[in-house]
Chain A
């Protein structure tokens, strides 16, 4: 076993999933003397390492095979198992994306080690990687360690940390392994989602709607307001049951973490599942009829009153 921290670099099509780069920066920050290693799976014609190198890992390990194009979760986990079992890193971090959260547990099962999902923070206490995640809602955080087994594995929430470029001498290792095709699964196609409005986690302005703003009039006005402000509409969990919203619009623990310059919450009470998703918002304005709603404790500006009335006033007065 060595003392390296490895970060799995997720590549979607030709694009590096930004969380992977954020994790390289975070790993460098907590590493101390431990080397930070980026782990890349890619096709032979790709050169993801060129970009990854700019973020300053001490080492890059690449696994190259043409079949990584349209590879299944099981195939990726199998390839990772070969290199991880051989080189035995101390810790292994994945983005808590759909892919990360699907591949990491399969690898965990092969390695018979621990895996903590969707961490909001990580730090070292001696050799233990302390993995911090919210649990059971209601303002409860949990610190989890994996004291006796290595690697220590965690998936980490996107957009919690910032990716920062760093120049260093990076050793690049092309690791030789055998791609084992999984017999009972075939990825038929991968179609990019044309998402004109981009991802809510990257929106600069977010108009968020909760149970107290769940009526068509308000939703319509919110769309208009978002258009005027160049922002996006997000929702708390109950509103994902509406036809016009899905998980992609959801803010909070089981949805998206957002970091806009301006967030305006309408009719959101502010349960912790929601609150953890908005911690990185710069300015928070909240509108709620309940003066004691927890959301006001997480807000810079509070309006106690009707969501519709405030929204109408905003629509009139915003140019």
Chain B
């Protein structure tokens, strides 16, 4: 089985600030980590590899600093990693990002399964998986809480829709986006960390891919960020309750009943 796991490096969300003068995000000195849900996707891939054999390839699009996340994914046990990196890819929204990922997956060739985390914790869209599925014309199981390989070509997934559990059978190749309920991502072992540094991280730019220049980067992105701001909300009038818990609860219940 050839499994591609698409991962995103995200800033540690508590540390991103907004520059009050320029209203831009200040991203310097922000440590990048693998998007949490993407670890579940890597774990799912590693478990499938254990079951069916094959290889797990990590794929990401971003600047060269993203190598650190790919390295982490390799240390979890993935076989190889590809970074799609180019100035021309910069400023991409979900449509342009998914387009480049799809072209890379076509170039990798003979991929059976493409896994994503359910969504990123920063931009929080969860859109790239379904767009890739559409670009590649393959079926999708989004927000999957379990997947089970039936045979080499079929997979059964369960996904929790808004008030029902849907059981879906897909023929591979397919796209699956993984909920964190599916598994507990493994820790990186010292041996795997050591091994990860022996693995090469392949870098592809637009020169290695058959991409249409009009569909990549900012040019290929229909959406535009109009404004970024820190909302100033009318705060609530806060009453501080007494420090003694019983007195505090007494006052609270009295006020709530009024």
Contacts and interface: CB of A to CB of B under 8 A. Distances in A.
Q: Indicate whether A and B interact.
A: yes
Interface stretch (A42-50, A56-64, A135-143): A135-143
Contacts of A74: 133-134, 139-140
Contacts of B231: 139, 141
B241 A144 contact: no
A187 B167 contact: yes
Contacts of B225: 142-144
Interface string B11-22: 101111110000
A189 interface: yes
A260 interface: no
B135 interface: yes
A186 B163 contact: no
A53 B220 CA distance: 38
A105 interface: yes
Top 9 A-B residue pairs of the complex, sorted by shortest distance between their CB atoms: A137-B13, A109-B134, A185-B139, A114-B223, A114-B222, A117-B125, A105-B130, A105-B127, A313-B245
A115 B127 contact: yes
B236 A298 contact: yes
Nearest to A102: B142
A65 interface: no
A290 interface: no
A11 to B, nearest CB: 11
**Chain B interface size range:** 35 or more
12 contacts: A98-B159, A105-B94, A106-B130, A114-B93, A114-B221, A137-B16, A138-B16, A140-B16, A141-B230, A191-B167, A192-B164, A301-B238
B246 interface: yes
Contacts of A149: 222
B156 A188 contact: yes
Interface in A61-80: 72-74, 77
Contacts of A312: 245
Interface centre among B128, B133, B163 (most CB of A within 10 A): B163
Given A145-B224, A283-B256, A306-B245, A72 B240 contact: no
Given A135-B123, A240-B180, A247-B181, A184 B226 contact: no
A13 to B, nearest CB: 7
Interface in A288-319: 296-306, 309-310, 312-314, 316-318
Contact of B246 (A112, A279, A302, A317): A317
Given A73-B140, A299-B236, 10 more contacts: A101-B126, A137-B14, A140-B229, A190-B166, A191-B164, A301-B240, A301-B255, A303-B240, A314-B249, A316-B246
B179 A182 contact: no
Interface in A264-303: 271, 273, 279, 283-285, 296-303
A193 B163 contact: yes
Contacts of A247: 179-181
Given A113-B222, A184-B139, A247-B180, A273 B238 contact: no
A246 interface: yes
A143 B227 contact: yes
A77 B98 CA distance: 17
Contacts of A214: none
B151 interface: no
Contacts, number: 256
Nearest to B12: A137
A144 B226 contact: yes
Contacts of B130: 73, 102-103, 105-106, 109
Nearest to B168: A187
A147 interface: yes
Contacts of B25: 136, 140
Contacts of B252: 285, 301, 303
A41 to B, nearest CB: 15
A137 B138 CA distance: 33
B143 interface: yes
Contact of B131 (A109, A128, A190, A313): A109
Contacts of A296: 238
A31 to B, nearest CB: 20
A71 to B, nearest CB: 11
B230 A317 contact: no
Contacts of B133: 74, 106
B162 interface: yes
Nearest to B129: A105
A10 B163 CA distance: 12
Interface centre among B228, B233, B252 (most CB of A within 10 A): B252
Contacts of A145: 223-224, 226
A104 B130 CA distance: 9
A313 B244 CA distance: 10
Interface string B191-228: 00000000000000000000000000000011111111
A106 B168 contact: no
A156 B126 CA distance: 13
Nearest to B220: A112
